[in-house]
C-alpha cells in the first residue's frame, strides 16, 4: 500500500488538533515549558549535538575570585571624578615622540613631546604642597620653524558626569581678567559593609581656566601657559541636601583659586617664583629621611631607585599638614612634636630585605 505524503493536509490536521484540544492557558504553559527547556537544557543539548565541549573553569581561580570580591568592592569607594584636567597638544596625524620623567626631589612630573611638524612641547605638573587643592600645569611650546603654526589643544573636559553643571566666572590674575569655568556635580558614595554613609554623595567643585581649542605659535618663538586648577569637595551628605551644599562648595573652590592666583602672580616681587619654590622646598623637607642610599645599581639586589620610587609613591598620596597654609600654628607645632617621637616600629626588622615592601614600581 502506498501513502502519499501531503504537507498541506498535515498542516490542516495539526491546526485542527490545536484549535480543539488547546486553550489559551494550555498554550501558554506549553510555550513556557519550551522556553525553560531551551534556556536550561538547550545549550547542553546543542553542544552534545554538534560535538562542542563546555570549557572547564579553573575551580581554584573561581574560589579566589569569591574571596577577593569583597575587598575589590571596598576599593571602589575611591570613585573617579569624570573630569579630565590635563591640557595637552593634540597630534596632527603624524606620530610624535613622547617621554615622561618624575623628579622625586621636587615633586614635579615632566613630560616632553616632539612633533615632526617642527615644534616641541614641555610640560610640568604638580599638586602644590602648601595648597593641596591646587593643581599646576606649566606648558612651554617652542616653534622652530620660521612661520606661524596653529596647533590644537586637548582642553579640560567632562565625560559621563550627568550631575555636572558648568558656569563661567571672571577672575583677576595680576593686571589681567581671565575667564574660568566652574564645574560642580555630585559623586555617589558606594555602599560598603558596615558603612553608615550608604546612599550618600559628595559635592565636588572644580575651577579651571577656559582655553581656546586652537592657539597660534609665533615664528621661532616660545609660548608659555601657566594654568592653575582648584578642586574642592564636601563631606558625605544626604542626596536631598545637595542643592543646599552646592553653592558653599563652589564658593570655597573659587576662593581657593583666588588665593592661588594671588600667590602665583607675576610682578616685581617675583611671586610666581616663590609660589613654585615653596612647593619644591616642602618636597625637599619630606625627603630628609636621615639615611643615605648608595647610587649603586647591582644586579639582583635592592637598589636606591626602587626605594626612592616607593617612597615617592607613598609620600605623594599623603598630605603634609605641617606645611599647609590652611593649618593653624598650634596644629603644626603639635604635628612637629609627634614627629620627633621615634616609635621604632621597624626596630630589629630587616626592611631592606623585605621584597614585598620594595616591589618594582613599573
Using an 8 Å Cβ cutoff, are 183 and 72 in contact?
A: no
Position with higher pLDDT, 230 vs 81? 230
Using an 8 Å Cβ cutoff, are 212 and 186 in contact?
A: no
Q: Would the pLDDT of 359 be above 80?
A: no
Mean pLDDT of the chain: 81
Q: What does the pLDDT look like over 307-333, one tens digit per residue?
A: 788 888 888 888 888 888 888 888 888
Q: What is the average per-residue pLDDT within 221-241?
A: 93
Residues of the chain with CATH 2.70.98.50: 82-187+200-287
pLDDT of amino acid 118: 86
Give the CB-side neighbour count of residue 91, counting CA atoms within 13 A.
Answer: 10
Question: Could you tell me which of 238, 361, 241, 251 has the C-alpha nearest to residue 306?
Answer: 361
The model's pTM? 0.71
**What pLDDT band is residue 55 in, cutting at 50, 70 and 90?**
low
The CATH number corresponding to 82-187+200-287 among 1.10.290.10, 2.70.98.50, 3.40.50.10090, 3.30.70.1560 equals 2.70.98.50
Q: How far is residue 332's CA from residue 323's CA, in Å, rounded to a whole number? A: 8
Q: Would the pLDDT of 276 be above 80?
A: yes
Question: Could you tell me which of 60, 75, 129, 69 has the C-alpha nearest to residue 277?
Answer: 129
Q: Which residues contact 231 (CB under 8 A, 6 or more apart)?
A: 81, 133, 135, 204, 205, 206, 253
Cell of 90: 593634540
Amino acid at each position: 500500500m502506498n501513502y502519499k505524503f501531503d504537507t498541506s493536509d498535515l498542516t490542516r490536521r495539526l491546526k485542527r488538533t490545536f484549535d480543539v484540544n488547546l486553550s489559551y492557558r494550555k498554550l501558554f504553559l506549553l510555550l513556557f515549558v519550551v522556553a525553560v527547556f531551551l534556556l536550561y537544557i538547550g545549550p547542553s543539548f546543542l553542544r552534545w549535538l554538534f560535538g562542542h565541549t563546555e570549557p572547564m573553569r579553573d575551580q581554584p581561580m573561581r574560589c579566589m575570585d569569591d574571596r577577593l570580591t569583597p575587598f575589590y568592592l571596598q576599593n571602589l569607594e575611591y570613585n573617579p571624578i569624570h573630569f579630565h584636567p590635563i591640557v595637552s597638544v593634540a597630534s596632527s596625524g603624524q606620530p610624535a615622540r613622547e617621554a615622561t620623567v618624575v623628579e622625586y626631589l621636587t615633586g614635579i612630573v615632566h613630560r616632553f613631546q616632539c612633533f615632526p611638524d617642527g615644534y616641541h612641547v614641555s610640560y610640568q605638573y604638580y599638586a602644590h604642597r602648601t595648597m593641596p587643592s591646587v593643581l599646576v600645569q606649566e606648558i612651554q611650546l617652542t616653534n622652530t620653524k620660521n612661520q606661524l603654526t596653529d596647533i590644537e589643544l586637548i582642553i579640560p573636559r567632562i565625560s559621563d558626569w550627568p550631575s555636572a553643571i558648568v558656569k563661567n566666572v571672571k577672575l583677576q590674575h595680576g593686571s589681567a581678567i581671565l575667564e574660568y569655568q566652574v564645574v560642580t556635580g555630585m559623586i555617589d558614595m558606594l555602599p560598603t559593609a558596615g558603612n553608615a554613609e550608604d546612599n550618600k554623595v559628595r559635592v565636588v567643585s572644580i575651577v579651571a581656566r577656559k582655553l581656546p581649542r586652537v592657539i597660534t605659535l609665533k615664528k621661532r618663538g616660545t609660548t608659555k601657559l601657566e594654568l592653575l586648577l582648584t578642586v574642592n569637595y564636601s563631606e558625605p551628605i544626604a542626596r536631598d541636601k545637595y542643592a543646599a551644599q552646592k553653592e558653599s562648595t563652589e564658593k570655597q573652590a573659587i576662593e581657593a583659586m583666588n588665593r592661588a592666583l594671588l600667590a602665583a602672580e607675576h610682578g616685581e616681587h617675583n611671586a610666581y617664583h616663590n609660589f613654585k619654590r615653596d612647593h619644591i622646598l616642602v618636597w625637599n623637607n619630606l625627603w630628609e629621611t636621615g639615611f643615605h642610599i648608595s647610587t649603586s645599581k647591582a644586579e639582583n639586589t635592592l637598589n636606591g631607585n626602587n626605594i626612592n620610587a616607593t617612597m615617592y609613591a607613598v609620600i605623594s598620596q599623603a598630605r603634609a599638614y605641617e606645611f599647609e597654609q590652611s593649618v593653624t600654628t598650634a596644629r603644626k607645632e603639635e604635628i612637629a612634636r609627634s614627629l620627633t617621637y621615634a616609635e621604632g616600629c621597624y626596630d630589629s626588622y630587616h626592611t631592606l630585605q623585605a621584597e614585598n615592601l620594595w616591589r618594582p614600581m613599573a
